[in-house]
Amino acid sequence: MTRRDARIHVMQMLFETDFQPDKPVGDVYFLFKESMEITDNDFMKDLFFGVCAHREAFDGLISKYAEGWSLDRISHVAHGAMLISIYEMYFRTDVPVKVSLNEALELVKAYDDVKAVGFVNGILNSIKDNRDRNPVE
């Protein structure tokens, strides 16, 4: 599985958690993996559980830089792509920030409205430029 494939799967799992917020994330992960008949992948697993563990903090960052937009106005695809990219920026030193930003934009281009690309790009670049001022633990 490529890292892009892993990101797509994680975005799909995050979408699932949006509609079933009370379902344990472990159940979402294992049921998704089973239903898609995919083998375990360390990168995918780290992204999904990492995003879920830090989602509240990441949503705070998105809200901070999405001036005039509430989280419920942001599409699930754009939101998921941003969450993945933010996790990579903060916690995946093996993924260059530029690659993470580009991958998020590619996800949005492929699965969302083209107008969302600029919006996502602006928010992610603001988060990238202010990482030192906005620590996430």
pLDDT at 67: 85
pLDDT at 77: 95
pLDDT at 134: 77
Burial tier of 29 (Cβ tally within 10 Å: 0-12, 13-18, 19+): buried
List per-block mean pLDDT (blocks of 10 residues) for the chain, which spans 137 residues.
Answer: 96 92 94 92 96 96 90 93 97 96 96 92 95 80
pTM of the predicted protein model? 0.94
pLDDT at 132: 81
The helix/strand count (H/E) of the chain reads as: 6, 0
- Domain residue limits at 34: 3-133
* Distance from C-alpha of 62 to C-alpha of 64, rounded to nearest angstrom: 5
Contact 127/134 with Cβ under 8 angstroms? yes
CB burial of 56-89 (b: ≥16 within 10 Å; e: otherwise) equals eebbebbeebbeeeeeeebbbbbbbbbbbbbbbb
Tokens 């994680």 correspond to: 10
The domain tally of the chain equals 1
pLDDT, tens digit, 9 for 90 and up, residues 39-76? 889 999 999 999 999 999 999 999 999 988 888 899 99
CATH number at residue 17: 1.10.940.10
